[in-house]
C-alpha cells in the first residue's frame, strides 16, 4: 500500500494550514446527464459506483448524496461483519460480501481496517443450544465457517463475560464464526469513494434528489437541489429513506423504517478481542482500536424517522451489557446516536428492478447492511450495467413478496430485525 504523505509532509501541512492536501475525491458541478446515476452516498451507493467502473467499465456515473458521504447508516453503525445466516441464499450473499471484505483494503489500496477477530453468539439454555447447532450445521452446509463452543471454550475467548450460574441468563455456549469481525465504517465509505472518483465517477455531495424525471412511465433522470440531471438508468441505495424515494416513482415498498441506536464508551485498556452478542440480553459489543466499547442492541419498537437516541433503549441495552460483563458497570458512556434503518417483512434485503422502468433498488438491509456493502454494490452495479440479475441477487428480487418465496432470516437465524 502506498501513501502520498510522509510524516514530514503531515507536519508541514499542519504548519501551512493544510493548503497542500490533494482532495481524496472529486467535487464536480453535476453534468446535465450520465449513463448511470446512483442515489445515496453511503457504502452501498459508493460501492455500486466503484464496481460499475471496475467490473463493467462504466465511468460516466454520478453518485448523488443529499448530505455528506457516509453520513447515513454507514457512518452510524457498529461495524460488525459476519455471514452467520441460515438460508443458502443468505449465505451466498453475505459470505460473498465477507470474501470481498477479506481483499478490500488491497483492492481499494486503502485500509478499511477489517479485523477478523471472530464473533460469539451466546446461547443460554439447552433449547437455545439446539437452535445454535441447527444454525452451525446450516452454515457449514452452505459453505460458511461456523463452530459450536462450550461455555469453557467461550470463557477461553472472552473471560470478562459473566459465567456465574446465578446470572439472569447463564452462559451455556456459543456459536463462533472465526472469519467475522469489524471494519472501520468511515474508511469503507472513503475507500470506495476514492477509488470510484479515481476511475472517473462524479461524487456529488449536498445534493438532494427531490423527484424522478419520468417519460412514458420510465425513469430518465432526477430532479435535485442542484437542478435536473438525466440518466440512462438510476439506482437507489438510500437505506432508511427507501420508501420516500420509491414514493417519488409512484411505488410502495414493503418497508418499515425504524431508528436503531448505538453507543460508544470512553476508551479503556483492551478487555475483549472479539465481538460478543447475546440475543437473550438483546445486547452486543466489541472494542474499537481506540479502546472504546462499541455497543448495540435491537430496534426501537415504534417506526419513526427520528434519528436520535432515547433513554429507554439506553437503559435496556446497557442493562444487558452490564449483565453480560459486570466489570463494565463503571465504564462511562461517551456517545449515543441512532440511524434510520429499512426493515422488510422477511428481514432480507431487496435488490433488483423496482417495477418502474429505469429504476433499480438496493435497500431493506435493516440492521445488517454494513457487512454486505461490497456485495450490495457489486450486485446493484451488475443490474445497472446489464439490466439482469446476478445469480446471487435473484432470490432477493422484490417480487418474492408477491410469489411468497420469502427468505425469513428473522425466524431462521434470529437476527434482531
Ligand atoms: P446509508 O449509509 O444510510 O446511505 C444512504 C444515503 O442516502 C445517506 O447518506 C442519505 O443521506 C442518502 N439519501 C437519502 N435520501 C436521499 C435523497 N433523496 N437524495 C440524495 N441522497 C439521499 N450493519 C452491519 O452489517 N453491522 C452492524 O454492526 C450494524 N450496526 C448498525 C448499528 C446502527 C446503530 C445502525 C443505524 C445500523 C447498523 N447496521 C449494521 C446497518 C448498516 O449501517 C446499514 O444497513 C448500511 O450502512 C446501509 O448502507 P447504505 O449505503 O444502504 O445506507
Indicate if 37 and 162 belong to the same structural domain.
no
Q: Rounded to two decimals, what is the model's pTM?
A: 0.96
Instruction: For residue 214, tell me if it sits in a domain.
Output: yes
Q: How confident is the prediction for the chain on average, in pLDDT?
A: 95
How far away, in angstroms, is 80 Cα from ligand 1 center? 14
Can you tell me the distance from the alpha carbon of 175 to that of 147, in angstroms, rounded to the nearest whole number?
6
| Mean pLDDT along residues 295-307 | 93
Q: Does residue 240 fall inside a structural domain? A: yes
CATH number at residue 308: 3.30.9.10
Q: In this predicted model, what pLDDT tens digit does every residue of 48-101 receive, in sequence order?
A: 999 999 999 999 999 999 999 999 999 999 999 999 999 999 999 999 999 999
Q: In what order do the strands lie in the sheet with 256-267?
A: 147-150, 173-177, 119-123, 275-278, 283-287, 292-299, 256-267, 333-343
Which H or E run includes 313? helix 311-324
Chain segment 228-276, per-residue pLDDT in tens: 999 999 999 999 999 999 999 999 999 999 999 999 999 999 999 999 9
Predicted pLDDT of residue 17: 81
CA-proximal residue: ligand 1, atom 47 (nearest): 74
The model's pLDDT over 318-333, given as tens digits with 9 standing for 90+, comes to: 999 999 999 999 999 9
Select from 343, 361, 394 the last residue of a domain: 343
Quickly count: other Cβ atoms within 10 Å of residue 354's Cβ.
23
Model confidence pLDDT, tens digit, residues 99-116:
999 999 999 999 999 999
In the predicted structure, residue 1 carries a pLDDT above the cut 70: no
- Please enumerate in sequence order all residues whose Cβ is within 8 A of that of 373, keeping only pairs 6 or more positions apart, or say none: 43, 44, 47, 74, 97, 188, 192
Number of domains in the chain: 2
* Domain boundary, last residue among 343, 372, 398: 343
44 touches ligand 1 (CB under 6 Å): yes
Q: Give the torsion sign (CA, 155, 160, 166, 167).
A: negative
For residue 391, count CB atoms less than 10 angstroms from its CB and return exposed for 0-12, middle for 13-18, buried for 19 or more: exposed
Q: From the alpha carbon of 72, which atom of ligand 1 is closest?
A: 3
Whether residue 352 is contained in a domain is answered as: yes
Q: Does residue 86 form part of some domain?
A: no
Atom of ligand 1 nearest to the CA of 363: 52
- Ligand 1 centre from 241 Cα, in Å? 9
In a domain, 139, yes or no: yes
Model confidence at 12, pLDDT cuts 50, 70, 90, reads confident
Same domain (yes/no): 135, 234:
no
Whether residues 202 and 335 share a domain: the answer is: no
Beta-strand runs (E) in 345-385: 350-353, 359-363
What's the confidence (pLDDT) of residue 5? Answer: 61
Closest by CA to 59, choosing from 197, 193, 192, is 197
* C-alpha torsion angle, residues 302, 305, 309, 314 (rounded to 10): 20
Q: Which residue has the higher pLDDT, 186 or 14?
A: 186
Q: Assess whether the C-beta atom of 347 lies below 6 angstroms from ligand 1.
A: no
What residue numbers bound the domain in which 168 lies? 119-178+256-343
The helix-helix angle for 373-386 and 88-102 (nearest 10°) equals 100
Within a domain: 6: no
Note whether 194 and 142 are same-domain residues. no
What are the tens digits of pLDDT across the range 348-389?
999 999 999 999 999 999 999 999 999 999 999 999 999 999
Instruction: Find where cell 434485503 sits.
Output: 349
The residues pairing with 286 across neighbouring beta strands, listed in sequence order, are 294
Q: Are residues 196 and 339 both part of a single domain?
A: no
Listed in sequence order, the residues at least 6 apart from 337 whose beta carbon sits closer than 8 Å to its beta carbon are: 76, 261, 262, 307, 308, 309
pLDDT tens, 275-284?
A: 999 999 999 9
Collect all residues with Cβ–Cβ distance below 8 Å to 8 and sequence separation of at least 6.
none
Same domain, 50 and 63: yes
Which of 403, 382, 381, 375 shows the shortest CA–CA distance to 99?
A: 375
Q: Which of 43, 69, 72, 413 to mutate to test the pocket of ligand 1 (most atoms within 8 A of CB)?
A: 72
Amino acid at each position: 500500500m502506498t501513501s502520498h504523505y510522509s510524516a514530514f509532509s503531515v507536519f508541514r501541512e499542519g504548519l501551512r494550514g493544510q493548503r497542500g492536501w490533494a482532495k481524496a475525491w472529486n467535487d464536480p458541478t453535476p453534468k446535465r446527464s450520465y449513463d448511470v446515476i446512483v442515489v445515496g452516498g453511503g457504502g452501498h451507493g459508493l460501492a455500486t459506483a466503484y464496481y460499475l467502473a471496475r467490473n463493467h467499465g462504466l465511468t460516466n456515473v454520478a453518485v448523488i448524496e443529499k448530505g455528506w458521504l457516509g453520513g447515513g447508516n454507514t457512518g452510524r453503525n457498529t461495524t460488525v461483519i459476519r455471514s452467520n445466516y441460515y438460508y443458502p441464499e443468505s449465505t451466498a450473499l453475505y459470505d460473498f460480501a465477507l470474501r470481498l471484505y477479506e481483499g478490500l483494503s488491497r483492492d481499494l489500496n486503502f485500509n478499511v481496517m477489517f479485523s477478523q477477530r471472530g464473533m460469539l453468539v451466546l446461547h443460554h439454555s439447552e433449547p437455545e443450544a439446539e437452535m445454535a447447532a441447527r444454525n452451525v450445521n446450516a452454515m457449514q452446509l452452505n459453505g460458511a465457517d461456523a463452530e459450536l463452543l462450550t461455555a469453557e471454550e467461550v470463557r477461553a475467548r472472552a473471560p470478562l463475560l459473566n459465567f456465574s450460574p446465578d446470572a439472569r441468563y447463564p452462559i451455556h455456549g456459543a456459536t463462533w464464526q472465526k472469519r467475522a469481525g469489524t471494519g472501520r465504517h468511515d474508511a469503507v465509505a472513503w475507500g470506495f469513494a476514492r477509488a470510484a472518483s479515481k476511475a472517473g465517477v462524479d461524487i456529488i455531495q449536498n445534493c438532494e434528489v427531490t423527484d424522478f424525471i419520468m417519460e412514458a412511465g420510465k425513469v430518465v433522470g432526477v430532479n435535485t437541489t442542484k437542478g435536473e440531471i438525466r440518466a440512462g438508468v438510476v439506482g437507489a441505495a438510500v437505506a432508511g429513506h427507501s420508501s420516500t424515494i420509491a414514493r417519488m416513482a409512484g411505488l410502495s415498498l414493503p418497508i418499515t423504517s425504524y431508528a436503531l441506536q448505538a453507543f460508544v464508551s470512553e476508551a479503556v485498556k483492551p478487555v475483549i478481542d472479539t465481538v460478543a452478542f447475546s440475543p437473550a440480553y438483546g445486547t452486543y459489543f466489541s472494542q474499537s482500536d481506540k479502546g472504546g466499547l462499541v455497543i448495540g442492541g435491537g430496534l426501537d419498537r415504534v417506526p419513526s424517522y427520528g434519528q436520535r437516541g432515547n433513554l429507554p433503549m439506553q437503559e435496556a441495552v446497557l442493562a444487558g451489557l452490564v449483565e453480560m460483563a459486570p466489570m463494565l458497570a463503571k465504564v462511562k458512556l461517551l456517545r449515543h446516536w441512532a440511524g434510520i434503518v429499512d426493515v422488510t417483512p422477511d428481514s432480507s434485503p431487496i435488490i433488483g428492478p423496482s417495477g418502474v422502468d429505469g429504476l433499480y433498488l438496493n435497500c431493506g438491509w435493516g440492521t445488517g447492511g454494513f457487512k454486505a456493502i461490497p456485495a450490495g454494490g457489486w450486485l446493484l452495479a451488475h443490474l445497472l450495467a446489464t439490466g439482469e440479475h446476478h445469480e446471487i441477487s435473484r432470490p432477493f428480487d422484490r417480487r418474492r413478496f408477491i410469489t411468497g418465496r420469502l427468505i425469513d432470516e428473522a425466524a431462521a437465524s434470529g437476527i434482531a430485525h
